[in-house]
Structures are given as C-alpha cells and as structure tokens.
Amino acid sequence: MHTILRRLSRLLFGARTVSKTPAAKASPEKLKSAPLEKALGYKFKSRTLLRRALTHASVRSLREKSDDNERLEFLGDRVLALAIAELLVEMDPDATEGELARRFNRLVRREACARVARNLALGAALILSASEADSGGREKDTILADACEALLGAMFVEAGFDVARDVVRKLWMPLIDSAPRATADPKSALQEWAQGQGLPLPEYVEIGRDGPDHAPRFTAQVRVGRHSPAEGVGASKRAAEQAAATALLRAKGVWPADAASDAHD
C-alpha cells in the first residue's frame, strides 16, 4: 500500500517532489505557519510545498497561475485512510470488520478532520481569497478538513508515510479515546456511514402498514444515494426505520449479524 501511495504521489506531483525536496522560492505573502508547525510536531523543509497545502482554491481565480491544495488533499485523504485503518486494526485485533468500519468512518469524515484542524489552529495559517476570508472561510468545516488532509499529503510527499502516520496517530488519538465503542442505534450508525462515504443522508419512506389498529405493522424503506434500498418491518414507524437501517448496514457489511438493534419507541 505504501508503494501505491508513492506511485500516486509521483503521478500527482512528479518524481522531483518525491525524491528531492524543491528549493523554497520567494513569495509576496509571508507564511503564518510557525504555530501550526509546532502543533503538528513537524517543520516543512519545503516552504513551497507547505504554501501549496495551505492555499485554498479560491485564490486560483485571483492569480494567473496558483498552486492550490486540491491535489494534496486528494493524496492526504488516502494517507489518512491507511493510517487510521492500520491503527484501528492494531488497537483492537478482535474487532469485527463492521465494528472497525464504523469507527473508521467516524474518524475520517469531514467533521473529524475539521476538529483536528481547529485543534491545530489551522484556520489562521490558511491562504484564502479576500472574499472567502470575509465570508468566514477560516472556520468552514469543508475548507479546514480539506487543508488538514492536504497537510498530511504534503508530509507524505516530503517525508514519507511513516512520518505522516506518526502525525496522524498523535492528532487523532484524542478523537479515538473519546469516541464511543458502539453506536447507540442503527439509524445513527447508517448516518455516520453515509457521511463517512461522502454520501447524502439516509432517506426513509413508509411503504406499507397492515394489521389491526391496536397492533399495526409498519414497513419502511431507506435509501442512501444510488445504493440499493433496504426495507424493515416494525410495530411503529421508528422501529420499522431502525429495522430498515439495520438491513442496509448488514448488506454493506458494516453491522454485525448478531448485533441487537434498538427497535423501541
């Protein structure tokens, strides 16, 4: 996997940035990165690479040529995924694939990356267009999360996977320690899974009701994006939705077959 990441890095940025750090170039804007690098525990040798990781795409329209952080974010997303997956397997060798997947999705989704970025005070170091900065860009989850992943991508390009992995472990461990070991109910688990996959939120529809008034049976269907829908039956709308969420999670292999679901009102 490390080799695949290295090849991807070469394709995205060229062999020169992988094998040899490019010399820093003068820039009209001074980087405000010292507190950030101290919090990271890593000081970039290439200021050009660091600048790219901190530059939001909104700057692109203001300059004839500008290197923004989108490609580094793409790479950093993969670095983060591998580092977190490796850590979770290490920490809990007896966990099922479904349990690992739920924890993984919580830790790599946008909200988690934005939380790490805020802990680093990353917003203060971002390079944004004036309009983006004025609209609160330094506090937007999407911008913070993308820049956080871009920094991981830049570390990987400059220093390799081991260094990036060590930083991930340091920064994400507080989130791991504070995360619940189990999700309260299938609907919450399905929502977390959808967010972790970058998918729309689950949509529930009542598609059937039968039985006497004093003991009705409801049938609900849940759909997440283009994935095949799943159905569930229960004594209430909520119970049917929980059952449908459980069915979809099991179909995706992220909910153990023997796990109990909360089907109470």
Q: How many CA atoms lie within 13 A of 47 on its CB side?
A: 13
Is residue 158 packed enough to be buried (19+ CB in 10 Å), middle (13-18) or exposed (0-12)? buried
Sign of CA dihedral 36, 66, 79, 174: positive
Rounded distance, CA 22 to CA 9, Å? 15
Q: In the block, which residue shows the tokens 């209430």?
A: 236
Beta bridge partners of 231: 221
How many whole angstroms separate alpha carbon 172 and alpha carbon 122? 15
Query: Hey, is 215 helix, strand or coil?
Result: coil
Q: Going edge to edge, which strands form the sheet with 230-234?
A: 203-210, 217-223, 230-234
Q: Can you name the residues that pair with 238 across neighbouring β-strands?
A: none
The length of the chain is: 265
Tell me the catalytic residues.
Answer: 77, 149
Q: Which residue from 262, 260, 259, 261 is spatially nearest to 96, judged by alpha carbons? A: 259
